[in-house]
Amino acid sequence: MRPFAYERAAELAAALATGTVSPAALQQLRPDAQYLAGGTTLLDLMKIDVMRPDRVLDIRPGPAAQPVIRAEGGLWLSAVASMAQAAEHPALRRDYPVVAESLQQAASAQLRNMATLGGNVLQRTRCPYFRDTAFPCNKREPGSGCAAIGGVTRLLAVLGVSEHCIASYPGDFAQALIALDAEVETLAPDGSRRFPFADLHRPPGGTPHVETTLQPGELITGFRLPSLPWARRSLYLKVRDRESYAFALASAAVALDLRDGVVHAARIGLGGVAAVPWRAHEAESVLQGQKLTETRAVQAAEAAFAGAVTQEDNAFKPELGRRTLVRALLQAAAMEI
């Protein structure tokens, strides 16, 4: 690990925990720093020399702080709440089970106790070529090339890829957020803003190194889940190599407004298969206004993966993704709420 300057931002940490930002907290924002909360991604990447910040700003809440999760026309989640705190929150488990399940199925219990919601959605790819500095990687070093294309690609993306990058987005929580039309709130030296979570991540295109729409120094402060009474009929289905502490080969976050067997609204997020958190709008359109049968679920899954671009090692992913989505839709339809 390379040398870096460390600074503790106590006022900013307290403001993030409570959701109330003071002028003193604003003064602690640092456009030249990497923010440290749980540290489960940042420190890992610093140790393997992939990230090399000169300054690290610690925004972790103090031991006595309890990051806020509150009802506000839906649910507001503090970005510095841990994954474990959110996953066990009664309102989240009752009203948005897809979100709670996406958190419960991520990482290990130890990491869920440390990792924060804000840091989780910003975690970087697990592409082995990104994480090994011996290989060229456009995401790590712009213009150097993509060693993954034509290489070992079993865990990499088939949706949203480009000729410059086929890395997959590794998280679970983000799939639930994008499926439910969540919003993200941020704070920057020039003010605060709120925007759709779907606008946070950028597909690789020709600039894979630009992963989000956040500006230098801009910090995620919280997430807003809209009031969707029918979101109680929701679930997160994750298919992986082993049951614990493994990233998704394919996953589906599904929420259904189902009345007398007819789909009045469907929300679908896909994980493990895409370059960014992926909303399957085409699949939702296939289901809209239709009886949810297995045949209709298969048609929706086909639509979701119509644009898949595969490599030799990950050619199995579209079929696995389709089957995962069909299972998730049928299981959600069978839920008793």
CATH number at residue 264: 3.30.390.50
pLDDT score of 63: 74
Q: What is the mean pLDDT of the chain?
A: 95
By the 8 A CB rule, do 269 and 280 touch? Answer: yes
pLDDT-based confidence at residue 147 (cuts at 50, 70, 90): very high
Does a structural domain hold residue 235? yes
Of 12-21, 156-165, 192-201, 208-217, which gets the smallest average pLDDT? 12-21
52 lies in the same domain as 180? yes
Mean local confidence (pLDDT), 200-224: 96
CA dihedral for 65, 63, 214, 71, sign (positive or negative): negative
Q: Has residue 101 got a pLDDT over 80?
A: yes
Residue 157's domain comprises 5-58+68-225
Whether 211 and 244 share a structural domain: no
Q: What is the pLDDT of residues 13-32, one digit of tens each?
A: 888 888 888 888 888 898 99
The C-alpha angle with vertex 85 and arms to 87 and 106, in degrees rounded to 5, equals 45
Question: Do 248 and 202 fall into the same domain?
Answer: no
Are 178 and 117 members of one domain?
yes
Q: To which H or E segment does residue 280 belong?
A: none
Question: Three-state DSSP class for 82?
Answer: strand
CATH number at residue 52: 3.30.465.10
Q: Domain for residue 53, yes or no?
A: yes
Q: Select from 168, 196, 225 the last residue of a domain.
A: 225
Task: Indicate whether 293 pLDDT > 90.
Answer: yes
Regarding whether 198 and 104 lie in a shared domain, the answer is yes
In the predicted structure, residue 139 carries a pLDDT above the cut 90: yes
| pLDDT per residue as tens digits for the range 38-94 | 999 999 999 999 999 999 999 988 776 778 899 988 999 999 999 999 999 999 999
Residue 282's CB is within 10 A of a number of other CB atoms, namely 15
- pLDDT tens readout for residues 250-292: 999 999 999 999 999 999 999 999 999 999 999 999 999 999 9
**Domain check: are 38 and 145 in the same one?**
yes
Residues 307, 277 share a domain: yes
Examine the domain organization and report whether 18 and 121 are in the same domain. Answer: yes
Q: Which of 106-110, 278-282, 304-308 has the lowest mean pLDDT?
A: 106-110
* Number of domain units in the chain: 2
**Is there a single domain that holds both residue 93 and residue 12?**
yes
> Could you write out the DSSP letters of every residue in 105-156?
TSS-HHHHHH-BHHHHHTPPP--TTTS-TTS-BTTTSTTS-BTTTTS--TTS
Q: Is 63 contained in some domain?
A: no
Residue 207 clears pLDDT 80, i.e. is over it: yes
Question: What ranges in the chain are assigned the alpha helix state H?
Answer: 10-18, 23-26, 42-47, 83-87, 90-95, 97-104, 109-114, 117-121, 173-179, 281-287, 294-304, 317-333
Q: Among the three residues 188, 205, 225, which one is the final residue of a domain in this structure?
A: 225
The answer to whether residue 274 sits within a structural domain is yes
Residues facing 47 on adjacent strands: none
Give yes or no: residues 78 and 183 share one domain.
yes
Q: Is 254 contained in some domain?
A: yes
pLDDT at residue 19, as a whole number: 80
Q: Which of 225, 245, 268 is the last residue of a domain?
A: 225
Output the pTM of the full model.
0.95
